Amino acid sequence: MTAPSPAPAGTDAPVETAATLAELRQDVRNFLAEWRTEKGFVPRCDAWMRGYDEEFSRALAQRGWIGISMPRSVGGAGRSYLARLVVTEELLAAGAPVAAHWIADRQIGPAIVRYGSPALQAEFIPRITSGEALFCLGMSETEAGSDLAAVRTSAVRAADGWRISGRKIWTSHAHHVNYAYVLARSSTGADRHRGLTEFIVEMGAPGVTVRPILDLQGEHHFNELLLEDVFVPESRVLGQVDNGWTQVTEQLSFERGGAERVLSTYPLLASVLERLDDTATAAQLATVGELLGRLQVLRRMAADVARGMDQGRAPAREAAALKYLGTEFERQVVDVARDVMEVEAEPGAAGLAGMIADGILCAPGFTIRGGTSEMLLTIIARAELR
Amino acid sequence: MSNGFDHSNLLRGVVDDVLQAAARKDDGPAALWAAVEQAGWHEVAVAEAGTGDEELVDLAAIVQGLGRHGVSVPLLERHLGTWLTRGRCTGGGCVVLLPRPGIDDVEVTRTGGSIRVSGAVGRAPWLPTCDSLLLVLDAETGTDAQALRIEIGTAAVEVRSGSNLAGEPRHSVVLRNSPAIAMDVDVERIELLRCRAAALNAAMMLGALERVLELTCDHATSRAQFGKPLAAFQMVSASIALISAGLAGARAAVDGAIEANVSRHDPVVTTAAAKIWLGRAATDTARMAHQVHGAMGLTQEYELGRFTPRLLAWRDEWGTARYWATALAKRFSGMPSGSSWQQLIAAT
């Protein structure tokens, strides 16, 4: 399979320099400072998954920070992937509640830009960039996790569109958002990588049911998404019929190279740093220092991925390595916080004790979602041993 | 930038050609150094180049090549002395001796116009071939920044032979009231010296990691047991994937460290990051590569033996990972949440 290329940023984009990126970074910091003062938010780990706040998302949208790297011609800000990295780094480091728009901004918007018809782009991109169109991912099923091509949700042709039936699982925030991206099987044949189609489904359409799944902490973000003969008009097919596999693997490769694969637990690391004082032992300092060093390298890797995308490349291998290494780091932050801080985890407590508890129970998901570490290492090994 | 990419590819090719030719001749260390001088590598990144130091990128690629070919020449050490003295010190006498913080102990006494030095400094490279050394002291040794030239052949200086894990010369120097001459060097360069050395050391380790991954893949695909190549076993291919991932990070780490040493903008943070990452990668890669290679990799004869001892030695030179990690942690400890993040960003 040839490596796909990302859609380049809009050709009418302003020239990106270190200065423009630094200015953007400061703007985001200023916004966060204001938001903290006026609304307050409690920084938490994994905020891009768990911090759902539509008002916050709309405020970001007003400043042009959702869809920042989508071309201006379709309603984005036309800036670089590096610009998106700068914005997302600041939001994630602050533990800000970005979950509502995250999927739309990270992958569905870019997928629509890349493969959507002009009508679909006109219908959705402005509403994604305004923070109004919010998406959940109808990808995984009980029998199709890492093996995404094994999806059984079916799409059958109907008059002027399709009827979709099936059950999706692990669909975060399906209970909140207005749209679902759905990957379904549109035809069967010898090659199961053919015959998949991507759809945009209205959450309010007849036949759509959402059932909550509580996670280890008793939090509700996961859901089952039941689709019973749901009608989807032809205009809401994303890209080409039966071309879904090529399209979705492109989504996945971009999903892996972002700052959220490194910074999910930064709020916890920041708290640890704040608490380290003169009584810290040499061993404690060395352990925390190692984390800081690894963080800097991982940030550089994420910047290299963004630069690659800005140059029109699709750095799938680098993104896989980054996701593997970054999520291991995220987990290590939690382990080090426990070891070094001598603070017992206390669910719901304010400060470090609560954050450690949160981190411990969030951690198992890091290396599973968006491509398990086992899958990533398999991809890397195959590339090396070709 | 495609120009930068083409240039670095070209340089890599040239470095490989020179070192492969030297390896074929196999005429010993002196001939190897002659090849280095003939290629002009001892003069790279020494001359003043505007306000920046862009040639350091080329020097990093060259020493990375030394690592990739498992070759021992004192290019890094000689470069440091030549650079520190802005080219006034060349040849064997400008090897830099940088005391290890917390380990080596040096005392300087000044009476009238004369300077005397006492103490012990370990792990000095390449000394018996030199007639003098350049002892560089800085805040890490608890003294003012200064560079002192010390003649080796006197009774006041004792050189005890030693080597590192890879058999490279690493001697101990005992100074007993040794006379020294203060060299007129920029304090700024003394302050940059540790980071410059560590960043180049990281580049050397990167080169060695590259070759170790190659060797490991070659071995795993060609060696068969139970009717299939080793690579067909998941436990083996997993190790290869882990080595590869570590190498991907190592590339980014070295790029960051070299860039910061070129710009001279807060190089401690990214240099520390590189030493930390490369130290971990060297340890893990050496271990996994030996596992995949089995008994054959445990011999001096087989090529792996040229690389893993070097990785295991180099990871602790120019500051251990622990030293650099501690420096980083001290820098950021006690900072409020927003500040630590801002500082981390500002250093890159």
Tens of pLDDT, residue by residue over B5-40, are 678 889 999 999 999 999 888 888 888 989 999 999
> A282 in contact with B at a CB cutoff of 8 Å?
yes
Residue B129 has pLDDT above 70, yes or no: no
B281 to chain A: closest CA residue? A294
pLDDT given for residue A13 in this prediction: 56
- Measured between alpha carbons, how far is A46 from A50 in angstroms, rounded to an integer? 6
- The single residue listed with the structure tokens 């709309």 is A58
**In this structure, are residues B171 and B160 in contact, taking their beta carbons and an 8 Å threshold?**
yes
According to DSSP, the residues that pair with B170 across neighbouring strands are: B125
- The overall average pLDDT reported for chain B is 92
- Measured between alpha carbons, how far is B183 from B136 in angstroms, rounded to an integer? 10
Rg, Å, chain A Cα set = 21
Helix or strand (DSSP H, E) at B149 = strand B146-151
β pairing state of B114-125 and B132-137 = unpaired
pLDDT given for residue A252 in this prediction: 78
Instruction: Name every chain B residue with its beta carbon within 8 A of the beta carbon of A305.
Output: none
Residue A255 has pLDDT above 70, yes or no: yes
> A296 in contact with B at a CB cutoff of 8 Å?
yes
Residue B51 has pLDDT above 50, yes or no: no
Q: How confident is the model at residue B50 (pLDDT cuts 50, 70, 90)?
A: low
**In this structure, are residues B320 and B283 in contact, taking their beta carbons and an 8 Å threshold?**
no
When pLDDT is averaged across residues A313-337 and rounded to a whole number, the result is: 95
Q: In chain B, what is the straight-line distance between the N-terminal and C-terminal CA atoms, in Å? A: 19
Residue A82 has pLDDT above 50, yes or no: yes
Q: How confident is the model at residue B48 (pLDDT cuts 50, 70, 90)?
A: low
> What is the sign of the dihedral through the CA atoms of A232, A238, A241 and A244?
negative
More confident residue, B128 or B201: B201
The minimal CB distance from B332 to the residues A25, A292, A321 is found for A292
pLDDT given for residue A180 in this prediction: 98
> What is the sign of the dihedral through the CA atoms of A102, A103, A106 and A110?
negative
Interchain contact, B341 vs A301, CB within 8 Å: no
Q: Nearest C-alpha of chain A: how many angstroms from B323?
A: 8
> Left (φ > 0), alpha (ψ -120 to 50) or beta: where does B45 sit?
left
Interchain contact, A289 vs B217, CB within 8 Å: no
> What is the sign of the dihedral through the CA atoms of A371, A107, A311 and A94?
negative
Interchain contact, B325 vs A286, CB within 8 Å: yes
Candidates B255, B266, B332, partner chain A, best to mutate (most A CBs within 10 A): B332
Q: Pick the closest to residue B101 from B139, B130, B68 (CA basis).
A: B139
> A21 in contact with B at a CB cutoff of 8 Å?
no
When pLDDT is averaged across residues A298-312 and rounded to a whole number, the result is: 94
Span B251-282, pLDDT tens digits: 999 999 999 999 999 999 999 999 999 999 99
* DSSP letter (8 states) at residue A66: S
pLDDT given for residue A375 in this prediction: 96
Least confident interval from A217-226, B81-90, B165-174, B189-198: B81-90
Rg, Å, chain B Cα set = 21
Q: In the Cβ-directed half-sphere of A21, how many Cα atoms lie within 13 Å?
A: 20
Q: Nearest C-alpha of chain A: how many angstroms from B309?
A: 23
The minimal CB distance from B270 to the residues A280, A296, A381 is found for A296
> A175 in contact with B at a CB cutoff of 8 Å?
no
Interchain contact, A380 vs B269, CB within 8 Å: no
Q: Nearest C-alpha of chain B: how many angstroms from A155?
A: 36
**In this structure, are residues B145 and B192 in contact, taking their beta carbons and an 8 Å threshold?**
no
Instruction: Name every chain A residue with its beta carbon within 8 A of the beta carbon of B246.
Output: 325
The minimal CB distance from A274 to the residues B273, B275, B337 is found for B337
pLDDT given for residue A383 in this prediction: 96
> A295 in contact with B at a CB cutoff of 8 Å?
yes
Q: In the Cβ-directed half-sphere of B211, how many Cα atoms lie within 13 Å?
A: 22
B269 to chain A: closest CA residue? A293
- Measured between alpha carbons, how far is B163 from B128 in angstroms, rounded to an integer? 12
The minimal CB distance from B241 to the residues A277, A284, A380 is found for A380
**Non-local CB neighbours of B165 within 8 Å, separated by 6+ positions:** B309, B310, B312, B313
Q: Nearest C-alpha of chain B: how many angstroms from A31?
A: 14
Residue B2 has pLDDT above 70, yes or no: no
According to DSSP, the residues that pair with B246 across neighbouring strands are: none
* DSSP letter (8 states) at residue B231: G
CA torsion, ordered A246, A251, A257, A263, to nearest 10 deg:
-150
When pLDDT is averaged across residues B238-250 and rounded to a whole number, the result is: 98
CB-count exposure of residue A311 (10 Å: 0-12, 13-18, 19+): middle
Instruction: Name every chain B residue with its beta carbon within 8 A of the beta carbon of A295.
Output: 273, 344
Q: How confident is the model at residue A314 (pLDDT cuts 50, 70, 90)?
A: confident
> Left (φ > 0), alpha (ψ -120 to 50) or beta: where does B161 sit?
beta
Interface A-B: count of C-beta contacts within 8 A: 155
Instruction: Name every chain A residue with its beta carbon within 8 A of the beta carbon of B276.
Output: 289-290, 293-294, 297
What ipTM was predicted for this assembly? 0.95
Instruction: Name every chain A residue with its beta carbon within 8 A of the beta carbon of B334.
Output: 273-274, 276-277
Least confident interval from A68-77, A251-260, B274-283: A251-260
Residue A21 has pLDDT above 60, yes or no: yes
Q: How confident is the model at residue B1 (pLDDT cuts 50, 70, 90)?
A: very low
Interchain contact, B322 vs A286, CB within 8 Å: yes
Q: Nearest C-alpha of chain B: how many angstroms from A336?
A: 13
What does pTM read for this prediction? 0.95
When pLDDT is averaged across residues A36-59 and rounded to a whole number, the result is: 94
Q: Is A382 helix (H, G, I), strand (E, B) or coil?
A: helix
Interchain contact, B336 vs A274, CB within 8 Å: yes
Span B67-125, pLDDT tens digits: 999 999 889 988 999 999 988 877 766 778 899 988 999 999 999 989 999 999 988 87
The minimal CB distance from A297 to the residues B253, B322, B338 is found for B253
Across A13-27, A53-67, B30-44, which has the greatest mean pLDDT? A53-67
Span A198-207, pLDDT tens digits: 999 999 999 9
pLDDT given for residue A4 in this prediction: 35
Output b/e per residue, A260-289; b: 16+ Cβ within 10 A. Answer: bbbbbbbbbbbbbbbbbeeebeeebbbbbb
Pairs from B52-57 (Cβ < 8 Å, separation ≥ 24): B52/B262, B52/B263, B53/B261, B53/B262, B53/B264, B54/B262, B56/B196, B56/B258, B56/B261, B56/B262, B57/B8, B57/B258, B57/B262
In Å, how far are A136, A225, B219 from A222, measured between CA atoms?
10, 10, 45
Helix or strand (DSSP H, E) at B290 = helix B267-293
- The overall average pLDDT reported for chain A is 94
**In this structure, are residues B290 and B297 in contact, taking their beta carbons and an 8 Å threshold?**
yes
Q: Nearest C-alpha of chain A: how many angstroms from B335?
A: 5
Q: Pick the closest to residue B278 from B304, B306, B313 (CA basis).
A: B313
**In this structure, are residues A176 and A187 in contact, taking their beta carbons and an 8 Å threshold?**
no
> What is the sign of the dihedral through the CA atoms of B214, B218, B221 and B225?
negative
In Å, how far are A256, B107, B133, B182, B230 from B115, measured between CA atoms?
59, 10, 15, 8, 62
Residue A37 has pLDDT above 60, yes or no: yes
The minimal CB distance from A285 to the residues B221, B238, B333 is found for B333
> A25 in contact with B at a CB cutoff of 8 Å?
yes
